Structure 1
Amino acid sequence: MRIRGVAHRGYPRNYPENTLSSFQAAIDLGFTHMELDVHLSKDGVPVVMHDHSIDRMTDGKGEIKNYTLKELKQFNIEPDEKIPSLKEALLLAKDQIIVSIELKKPELYPGIEKKVYEVISKLDMIDQVYIISFNHKTLAKLRVLSSELHIGPLVSRVKKSHFNLIKKLNANYFAVKYDSVKDKHIKQCEDMDVQLVVWTVNREEDMTSIGNYPSVLVTTDELEKYSNLYLTR
């Protein structure tokens, strides 16, 4: 049985986040979706990492935008990983799992929207990804690039204006911090045929509570805990 949920940065409890081994673990556990974060290298290649710098995750220092992909590949992620490109991550996921791509700080990377779209399009994965971002202007740019690409606003607190934004963008997803979601928001997303995604749900009691709303897509770091609860519903 497949586990309907979003593996946050892969399987970060057991593997380095946003790495190929982490994504493979999510696939092996049978999750339907996985989430990853994208920045742009100095030479314009979309790469996967949560932070805009490599300090926390690698043995190097500095901002991603100041290194070419080749230079970024020289740094190590413990125990034995390299920074993946978006292309590498998508090739791993193709035909196996839906990928949620978060564009991180897109204001730092002029043209990132087109670069990311080109990778997705060349791999023929338009129907296997969706893109979210806190920067709603970047989502508007993506919508201009493609009417078929699935996109969605990413927010910490739900406002009435967000539903107007969803309509304006013709968005397919709405990614919301878990403790901001109310019953009325779930109902409104259902009525609008928009996929509500909540993040990040790691406590068992919250997993059980949100399980009462089967339309909601749950993002979690605790893949095995979530899997066990999901399979016993």
Structure 2
Amino acid sequence: MTIRGIAHRGYPVNYPENTLSSFQAAIDLGFSHMELDVHMSKDGIPVVMHDHTIDRMTNGSGEIRKLTLEELKQFTISPNETIPTLEEALQLAKDRIIVSIELKKPKLYQGIEQKVYEIIKNLHMEDQVYIISFNHDCLFKLRAISSDVKIGPLVNKVRNSHYQLIQKLNAEYFAVKYTSIKEKHIKKCEEMGVQLVVWTVNTVEHMKSIKQYPNILITTDELETYKAVLE
């Protein structure tokens, strides 16, 4: 059975977030989508990590943008993993799961939009990937790079201006914090033909309340709990 939902950073409750083992767990559980976060190394390689530093997740410290990929790969994510590149994560996902890529702090990384797009294109995964960001300027850059790349603004709270933004971007997705979603937002997205994504839904109560709107894509850390609610 395919579980329609987004595995947030893989399966972070049982595996280190944003690692290949975490993504593999989401694939093994049969999730339709997974989400990951991207920064860029000093030598211009997109890598997967939530924070812009390696301090929280590895046995090292420092900003990702100040370390080369070779240097980043020397650090360990407990118990025995290294920081994946975006390419490694997408190779794992190819033909198995749809990937939501969040560009984190793109202002720190000149040219990250082009680099990310080239990886997607080289792997022929344009139909299997979409890109979201709180930084809407980087989404306009992506749209200028490609009319086909799937994109979506990421917001904490829905404003009417966001619908105009979606139209200007020709965006296919709209990712919103679940606590700010109202029925009118759900209907508007359906009218516009935009896929509404909500994050991050981790309690059974909230899963059940959002489940009544089958068009919404739910993002969760609690993969097996979500699977049980759906079943």
The TM-score normalised by the length of structure 1 is: 0.99
Name 1:216's counterpart in structure 2.
216
Amino acid in the other structure paired with 1:28 = D
Name segments (4+ residues, structure 1) moved above 3 Å: none
1:1-233 matched pairs, under 5 angstroms: 1-231=1-231
- 1:218 deviates by 0.1
In structure 2, what residue type is equivalent to 1:171? Answer: A
Which digits, 9 at most, give the CA deviation of each residue in 1:61-86, with x for residues without a partner? Answer: 00000011111000000011100000
Distance 1:213 1:63 in 2: 40
CA distance in 1, matches of 2:83, 2:109: 18
- Deviation string 1:86-117 (CA, Å, 9 cap, x unpaired) is 00000000000000000000000010000000
How far 1:135 sits from its partner (Å)?
Answer: 0.2
Deviation at residue 22 of structure 1 after TM alignment:
0.1
Following TM superposition, by how much is the alpha carbon of 1:212 offset from its aligned partner in structure 2, in angstroms? Answer: 0.4
One-letter amino acid matched to 1:60: G
Deviation of 1:148 after TM superposition, in Å, equals 0.6
C-alpha distance in structure 1 between counterparts of 2:198 and 2:80, whole Å? 31
Measured after TM superposition, the shift of residue 215 of structure 1 is 0.3
Distance (whole Å) between structure 1 residues aligned to residue 88 and residue 23 of structure 2: 11
Inter-partner Cα distance in structure 2 for 1:110 and 1:181: 33
**One-letter amino acid of the counterpart of residue 84, structure 2:** P
Unaligned runs of 5+ in 1: none
Aligned length: 231
Q: Deviations over 1:21-41 (max 9, x none)?
A: 000000000000000000000
CA displacement, residues 97-143 of structure 1 (integer Å, 9 cap, x when unaligned) = 00000000000001000000000000000000000000000000000
Aligned-pair identity in percent equals 71
Aligned residue for 1:215, secondary structure, equals: coil
Q: Could you tell me which runs of 5 or more consecutive residues in structure 2 were left unpaired when the two chains were aligned.
A: none
Which amino acid is the alignment partner of residue 79 of structure 2? P
Give 1:4 shift.
0.1
Amino acid at match of 1:26: A
